[in-house]
Amino acid sequence: MIECLGKSDTARWRSDRAKDNMPLELRSMGRRSMTFSASRPIVVFGCGGHGRVIADILGSGGVDVAGFLDDNPPGPIVDGVPVIGDHGRLSEPEFLAQHAIIIGVGETELRRRLALEVLGHGGILAVAVHPRATIGGQVSLGAGTVVMAGAVINIGCRIGRFAVVNTGVNVDHDCILNDGVHISPGCHLAGAVICDIDACVGTGAAVIPGVRIGARAIIGAGATVITDVPPDVIAVGCPARVKKQLAPLSESGRR
């Protein structure tokens, strides 16, 4: 499992990737952007806004979504896709053996817990890339990661598992986004930016080259990040400054 990658961690990344759900990873060779799916039917967990966008991405790429899973769906069918179960499905070996799952939950801690639950029960996570996203050469995307419409990920970027590169995001060359990172709509990450696990960059933020954003840090919408940000803080403004220290995570992964 990739917990954290730094500039000197390339070798570890390579060996971890070799063990880690490799068949479901998309390795771009400079091809045009594409929607990638597992050979199994894909199920999206969560039929709120985030999950519906993911189902729409898959549909745009010509992939039928087999169904949504949700504990509290608004109805039996959402956007024409049937709701075929709830959270319980994620621990059913038979169900997991027949489907690939994407966790369609925007909230980072919950998305991580659910994704690890799927993997822990032997399931697999699919990757979804909108057909109008642009993926450069030598880019790798981890299992369960979603790249939305209009996103551009340039050459040499390494994106971990169950990350989200949201609508219209630019991720320039050689960035490293670790597992669970969420780059919100309209952000600009310059080259060689590192986001540690579960960092969340708010809508429309800009990050200058080479900056490192710490694990679980939250960058406020519209911020301009010009220096490294420590883990477990909220940083806001232009230039971004730490506004709040977040409580440490408990052993269960909750704050």
Ligand X SMILES: CC(C)(COP(=O)(O)OP(=O)(O)OC[C@H]1O[C@@H](n2cnc3c(N)ncnc32)[C@H](O)[C@@H]1OP(=O)(O)O)[C@@H](O)C(=O)NCCC(=O)NCCS
User: Using CB under 6 A as the criterion, which residues of the chain lie in contact with ligand X when the complex forms?
Assistant: 106, 166, 184-185, 202-203, 218, 220-222, 234, 236-237, 243-244
CB of 125 to ligand X, least distance (A): 20
Q: If we measure between CA atoms, which residue out of 41, 210, 45, 27 comes closest to residue 129?
A: 27
Contacts 24+ apart (CB under 8 A), 186-193: 191/154, 192/7
Q: If we measure between CA atoms, which residue out of 31, 14, 37, 17 comes closest to residue 137?
A: 31
28 vs 167, beta carbon nearer ligand X? 167
41 vs 185, beta carbon nearer ligand X? 185
32 vs 255, beta carbon nearer ligand X? 255
CB of 185 to ligand X, least distance (A): 6
CB of 85 to ligand X, least distance (A): 26
Instruction: Please confirm, yes or no, whether 121 is among the known catalytic residues.
Output: no
Query: Which residue carries 């600009």 as its tokens?
Result: 188
Backbone φ and ψ of 86, nearest 5° = -130, -160
CB of 217 to ligand X, least distance (A): 10
87 vs 243, beta carbon nearer ligand X? 243
155 vs 236, beta carbon nearer ligand X? 236
Residue 129 β-bridge partners: 147
Q: What is the C-alpha to C-alpha distance for residues 104 and 225, in angstroms, rounded to an integer?
A: 28
* Helices and strands per DSSP (H, E), number in the chain: 4, 26
Cβ distance 52 to 79 under 8 Å? yes
CB atoms within 10 A of CB 23: 8
Helix, coil or strand: residue 203: coil
CB of 182 to ligand X, least distance (A): 7
Helix, strand, coil % over all residues of the chain, rounded to 5: 20, 30, 50
Pick the catalytic residue from 99, 130, 173, 188. 173
Active site positions, annotated? 173
